């Protein structure tokens, strides 16, 4: 029945269900309903200058924080896959702090196909990767722009990297090799905004 209605189904260990249900009795099944309606990609593309594509961000707090940051930086939409991604729950809405009312979130079936389609429509694809060949402060971002951010722990998938025009990295001064994905999003998005608007901040 779930497949017939295009409802994503995942099998998880009981510990994951316990966490997802916040301790409530779940009898082995937990369902997530969207706290906000998803937008259609074709509706956001005509005037888009900046899109954020998330490759498997599964933490709802991270998703909400990215949505909030993306809206503040002037993005036109956040694009998420229908698998390996946090749904638009109340937790996401709370972390987004009102940004869901102003920034469309688009759900797509396949990130790689979506990136290929965006390329055909003239978008430049920049993947954020700790091994990227360009520093995020030293590259000239061409518009319209797409930033692709990987999920917690694994980063960008290899096939997703191949769809990127450029892989960029944020230089690290400390012992830790990478940032939390929502923090990294803020760093690159506001560098894009500074360059795009001519701001000195």
Every domain of the chain and the residues it spans: 1-31, 33-197
Query: How does residue 35 score in pLDDT terms, banded at 50, 70 and 90?
Result: low
Of residues 145, 136, 87, the one with CA closest to residue 115? 145
Per residue in 122-138, pLDDT tens?
Answer: 999 999 998 899 999 99
- What does pTM read for this prediction? 0.81
CATH number of 33-197: 3.40.1280.10
d(CA 49, CA 17): 39
Query: Contact at 8 Å (CB) between 114 and 53?
Result: yes
**Confidence class of residue 74 from pLDDT cuts 50, 70 and 90?**
very high
Rounded to 5 degrees, φ, ψ at 147 are -105, 130
> At residue 200, does pLDDT exceed 60?
no
Extended strands (E) in 129-185: 134-135, 145-150, 166-169
The sign one gets for the Cα dihedral 128, 134, 140, 144 is: negative
Tell me how crowded residue 14 is: count the other CB atoms within 10 A of its CB: 9
Helix, strand, or coil (residue 145): strand
Give the Cα-Cα-Cα angle 109, 7, 61 (nearest 5 degrees).
75
pLDDT band at 201 (very low <50, low <70, confident <90, very high): very low
């Amino acid at each position: 029945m779930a497949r017939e209605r295009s409802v994503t189904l995942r099998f998880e260990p009981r510990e994951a269900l316990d966490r997802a249900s916040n301790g409530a009795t779940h009898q082995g099944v937990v369902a997530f309903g969207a706290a906000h309606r998803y937008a259609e990609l074709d509706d956001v593309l005509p005037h888009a200058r900046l899109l954020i594509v998330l490759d498997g961000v599964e933490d709802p707090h991270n998703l909400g924080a990215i949505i909030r940051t993306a809206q503040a930086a002037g993005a036109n939409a956040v694009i998420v896959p229908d698998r390996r991604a946090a749904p638009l729950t109340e937790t996401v809405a709370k972390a987004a702090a009102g940004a869901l009312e102003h920034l469309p979130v688009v759900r797509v079936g396949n990130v790689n196909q979506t990136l290929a389609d965006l390329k055909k429509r003239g978008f430049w694809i920049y993947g954020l990767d700790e091994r990227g060949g360009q520093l995020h402060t030293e590259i000239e971002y061409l518009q319209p722009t797409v930033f692709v951010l990987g999920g917690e722990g694994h980063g960008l998938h290899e096939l997703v990297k191949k769809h990127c025009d450029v892989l960029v990295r944020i230089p690290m001064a400390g012992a830790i090799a990478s940032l939390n994905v929502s923090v990294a999003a803020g760093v690159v998005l506001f560098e894009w905004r500074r360059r795009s608007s001519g701001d000195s901040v």
